Amino acid sequence: MYVFPGGVTTHAIMTMVDGKKGSLTNRAQCAKEHIKNDLQTGVQLAVPTAGLIGAGYIKTKMPTSKAASVLAKGFSAIGKVLGKIANKISPKAAEKIMKNPAKYGAAGVIAATGLYILGKLFNYENIKGRIDQKYEDAAKIEATTKNVVLM
Q: What is the pLDDT of residues 14-56, one digit of tens each?
A: 888 888 888 888 889 999 998 898 888 888 888 777 766 665 5
Which letter does DSSP use for residue 61 in this model?
T
Residue 129: is its pLDDT beyond 80?
yes
- Cα–Cα distance for residue pair 104/69, rounded to 1 Å: 16
pLDDT at res. 65 = 56
Cβ-count burial 13-41 (b if 16+ within 10 Å, e if not)? eebeebeebbbeebbebbbebbbebbeeb
Residue 77: is its pLDDT beyond 80?
no
Residue 126: is its pLDDT beyond 90?
yes
Tell me if 139 sits within 8 A of 20, measured CB to CB. Answer: yes
* Alpha-carbon dihedral sign for residues 130, 132, 134, 140: negative
115 vs 47, residue with greater confidence: 115
pLDDT at res. 17 = 87
Tell which residue, 53, 50, 62, 59, has the closest CA to residue 78: 59
- Cα–Cα distance for residue pair 33/49, rounded to 1 Å: 24
pLDDT at res. 133 = 92
pLDDT band at 90 (very low <50, low <70, confident <90, very high): low
The residue-averaged pLDDT of 90-105 equals 67
What is the number of residues in the chain?
Answer: 151
pLDDT at res. 60 = 54
- Cα–Cα distance for residue pair 24/17, rounded to 1 Å: 9
The residue-averaged pLDDT of 133-145 equals 87
